[in-house]
Amino acid sequence: MAKPKKPAARKATVKFTPRKAAAAAAAAATPAVAAPTPIVAKRPDAPAAPVARRPDAPPALVAKHARRLASQVRVDVAALAHAKVTAADAHRLETLADALDAAQEAWLVIQDARAVGVVASTRDPVRAGRDHVFAALRTFADANPTTQSALDDIGEVQGDDDLISDTTRLLALAKKHHHDLDGTDLTDARLAAIRSALGLFAAARGGAQAAAGTTTQAEDEATRGARRARNRAFWALADLDRQVARRGQYAFRDDEAKRARYAMYRRSAPTAAVEGASPEPTPVK
């Protein structure tokens, strides 16, 4: 018995009116246009990134200038109020000057570390600091089993890498147990000194290894990191120093003698100089 044939499917038809036909023809003739890419305008006079900018004066000179400026601000703080300079600015100047001194010292150590003696001399303060933090945490964080287990894991120093790693971990634990350590001789100042000593030791060790021809990518990063940290510290201080000096000059614009006390530090290199383009600024005598 023959199967009945299925009815043929009707093809859909689209009726084009003259208006639709014209629109379809225009669309086919117009090429697709991509969405415009946003253009980020960059000022032609924009300064180099802070990380790449070299100091425009000896860091020690700028730190000294900032401390003198801070002292002057405290003397004239009442008269400076309308120039938007306060005692808090004096404190910030001194804090940033200390940070610049530490960063510059770390940079110089990694530059000058060409002898084993330099590494040895910077190792001793780190070892003493490491032992101090370890003993304090054993004694005053004894109620925290997690911390005590971490101290068990740290154990004895096996070498320079171990010393750096241990001290870094211990400083983090000391920060966690800040309240437990309050009132002990492991003060914030002592911890800051240990942290600074650790940075100097790591820098000296990296420099000595570079001098011995054993430089690795990590050591190159340490060198670049020290330089960049120095530059960031420099410009953080220099920018504030110049702002306070300018405002002091404004406050005493009618008093030449007092205005002179807010003279800016003397630059010895182009502000936007890029590292590698010129030597370090020569100290101003």
State the DSSP string of 78-124: TTTGGGT--HHHHHHHHHHHHHHHHHHHHHHHHHH--SHHHHHHHHH
Residue 88 belongs to a domain: yes
Residue 172 belongs to a domain: yes
Distance linking the first and last C-alpha atoms of the chain: 118
Total domains, the chain: 1
Residue 107 belongs to a domain: yes
Our CA dihedral for 35, 41, 42, 43, rounded to 10 degrees, sits at 160
Residue 273 belongs to a domain: no
From first to last of its 285 residues, what are the pLDDT tens digits of the chain?
555 555 555 544 444 445 545 555 545 544 444 443 343 344 334 444 444 578 888 999 999 999 999 999 999 999 999 999 999 999 999 999 999 999 998 877 776 654 456 677 788 899 999 999 999 999 999 899 999 998 888 877 778 888 999 999 999 999 999 999 999 999 999 999 999 999 888 887 776 555 555 444 444 576 778 888 999 999 999 999 999 999 999 999 999 999 999 999 988 744 444 343 333 443 333
Mapped onto helix, strand or coil, the DSSP state of residue 39 is coil
Residue 270 belongs to a domain: no
Residue 51 belongs to a domain: no
Residue 232 belongs to a domain: yes
Residue 210 belongs to a domain: yes
- Using alpha carbons, select from 142, 198, 143 the residue that is nearest to residue 167: 198
Global confidence as pTM? 0.48
Give the domain range for residue 163: 59-260
* Contact (CB, 8 A) for 167 and 133: yes
- The string of DSSP codes covering 167-217 is HHHHHHHHHHTHHHHTTSS--HHHHHHHHHHHHHHHHHHHHHHHHTT---H
